[in-house]
Amino acid sequence: MSDQSTAGVSRRTFAKASAAVASAAILSSKSGVAATNGETIKVGLLGCGGRGTGAAINCLEGNTNVKLVAMADILDYQLADSLKKISGHGNKQVSSQCDVSPEMQFVGVESYKEILKTDVDIIIHATTPYIRPLHIEAIVEAGKHIFTEKPSAVDPVGIRRFIAAAKKAEKKGLCIVTGTQRRHQKSYVDTMKKLQDGAIGDILSGQAYWNGTLPFMRERKPGMSDLEDRLKNWYAHCWVMGDNIVEQHIHNLDIMNWAMGGPPKKVYASGGRVWKHLTKNPERYGDLWDHFSCDYEYDNGVHVTSMCRHWARECTQRVAENVVGTKGSSTCRDMGKDDRNPYVQEHMDLLAAVRGEAPYINEGVRCAESTMTAIMGRMSAYTGMELTWEEALNSDLSIVPEVLSFDMKYPVGEVPNPGPKNV
């Protein structure tokens, strides 16, 4: 179910059709859909945290004739902090291309609606994942090109919504680049090409790892509402970020899907929470597990072993991918050399496509499929059940609260327990 197969056409026809749609959009730039070569491209940042700030900087350092002109965040201090970092950046190319007036700064739950009323050409979307499908749908509706961070969603209902929006973007000629930056990293790109050309023969199996430590745990500050706390201490709550298999391990699973030519057919997974319940402050660690291991089955019976965990620093850490073929093996990046920061390259690639200097680009469905690969692993592990791709993708599982409000309670979820219920 790669981009080509979901579009139901061959790769070549798909590329041609998409390029035609894209040039139509570029020609109609007066509508604000896209900018031609000579125009300054206006960028808006939605979600002004660590990565959003980084992504905006990467966009400005990699491109000229581009300006950051609008910003939006649910929390005012996040926006203020981010603007300070970008406008005061040491690289003059970054700071001089940042021009966000007070009227172009939007704060609150509805801030996404406000930034979409402006005349920006591109939205950089870097909120925490839970709200991504709703926002991406609105951004496409508003006719903006998109850079969006991964993961695309946290549940199958969100994934279907994200996929529908990405397909609509294609119809409207709107480009989408996703934050799976390995896809823009030369060592991976060159190695993948060689693997597809048969460098290690037929691929027989794969291994993917994100074995590290918990990225952070933030104590609740006095006076914080439930919502503010959940959004600040987001590495504790499944509805905000999907658990670590979805938020981090997606990068490695995306490489496996790339090597295998599409997402898996089945998964059989397991995992748990070995240390968090031993801590003095269980509420601060929310409902997430701290390890998963999955056996994914792809076409032709090829299996991928996947592992991710948040364990102590002293444990052997590994963030890596590997494939084994009939004639050898590869780390998926050992047959190429990096030339540029992929976090910058992805914004150069997006702008080149928006300007019509490169073919139309839309990575939306592909990123959603890699996110779904991770979600399906989580679903299998949390329930203890083997799952097919169709069962997982078509599930009604929806874990994001319907209403966002600083006045509401957001109780901590129960830690999933797939074991016997009555012991």
Ligand X SMILES: NC(=O)c1ccc[n+]([C@@H]2O[C@H](COP(=O)([O-])OP(=O)(O)OC[C@H]3O[C@@H](n4cnc5c(N)ncnc54)[C@H](O)[C@@H]3O)[C@@H](O)[C@H]2O)c1
CB of 189 to ligand X, least distance (A): 16
Is 105 a binding residue for ligand X by CB under 6 A? The answer is: no
Residues 6+ apart with CB under 8 A from 114: 72, 106
Whole-angstrom distance, CA of residue 137 vs CA of residue 149: 14
Stretch that binds ligand X, among 21-29, 70-78, 91-99, 414-422 (CB under 6 A): 70-78
CB of 244 to ligand X, least distance (A): 10
Q: Which is nearer to ligand X, 73 or 287 (by Cβ)?
A: 73
Point out the residue whose Cβ comes nearest to ligand X: 49
Is 66 a binding residue for ligand X by CB under 6 A? The answer is: no
Q: Report the candidate in 115, 118, 209 with the shortest Cα–Cα distance to residue 126.
A: 115
Contact 206, 259 (CB under 8 A): yes
Q: Which is nearer to ligand X, 181 or 330 (by Cβ)?
A: 181
Q: Which is nearer to ligand X, 150 or 276 (by Cβ)?
A: 150
CB of 251 to ligand X, least distance (A): 7
Q: Which is nearer to ligand X, 138 or 200 (by Cβ)?
A: 138
Is 52 a binding residue for ligand X by CB under 6 A? The answer is: yes
Is 364 a binding residue for ligand X by CB under 6 A? The answer is: no
**Which 122-141 positions form the footprint of ligand X (CB under 6 A)?**
126-129, 131
Total chain residues near ligand X (CB under 6 A): 25
**Which 146-205 positions form the footprint of ligand X (CB under 6 A)?**
149-150, 179, 181
CB of 349 to ligand X, least distance (A): 14
Is 231 a binding residue for ligand X by CB under 6 A? The answer is: yes
402, with CB counted inside 10 A (0-12, 13-18, 19+), is exposed
CB of 111 to ligand X, least distance (A): 6
Q: Report the candidate in 262, 257, 237 with the shortest Cα–Cα distance to residue 247.
A: 237
CB of 314 to ligand X, least distance (A): 24
Q: Which two tokens stand for residue 158?
A: 């969100």
CB of 215 to ligand X, least distance (A): 8
Instruction: Please select the residue that binds ligand X; options are 3, 61, 73, 155, rule is CB under 6 A.
Output: 73
Instruction: Please select the residue that binds ligand X; options are 78, 105, 244, 380, rule is CB under 6 A.
Output: 78
CA atoms within 13 A on the CB side of 148: 35
**Which 232-251 positions form the footprint of ligand X (CB under 6 A)?**
234, 247
To 10 degrees, what angle do helices 156-172 and 132-141 make?
A: 20
377, with CB counted inside 10 A (0-12, 13-18, 19+), is buried
**Which 21-50 positions form the footprint of ligand X (CB under 6 A)?**
47-50
Stretch that binds ligand X, among 6-14, 71-79, 256-264, 383-391 (CB under 6 A): 71-79
Q: Which is nearer to ligand X, 179 or 325 (by Cβ)?
A: 179
CB of 168 to ligand X, least distance (A): 21
Q: Which is nearer to ligand X, 336 or 401 (by Cβ)?
A: 401
Q: Which is nearer to ligand X, 81 or 297 (by Cβ)?
A: 81
Q: Which is nearer to ligand X, 81 or 334 (by Cβ)?
A: 81
Q: Which is nearer to ligand X, 16 or 318 (by Cβ)?
A: 318
CB of 354 to ligand X, least distance (A): 20
Task: Find the angle CA(71)-CA(75)-CA(78) to the nearest 5 degrees.
Answer: 65
Binding site for ligand X (CB under 6 A): 47-52, 72-75, 78, 111-112, 126-129, 131, 149-150, 179, 181, 231, 234, 247
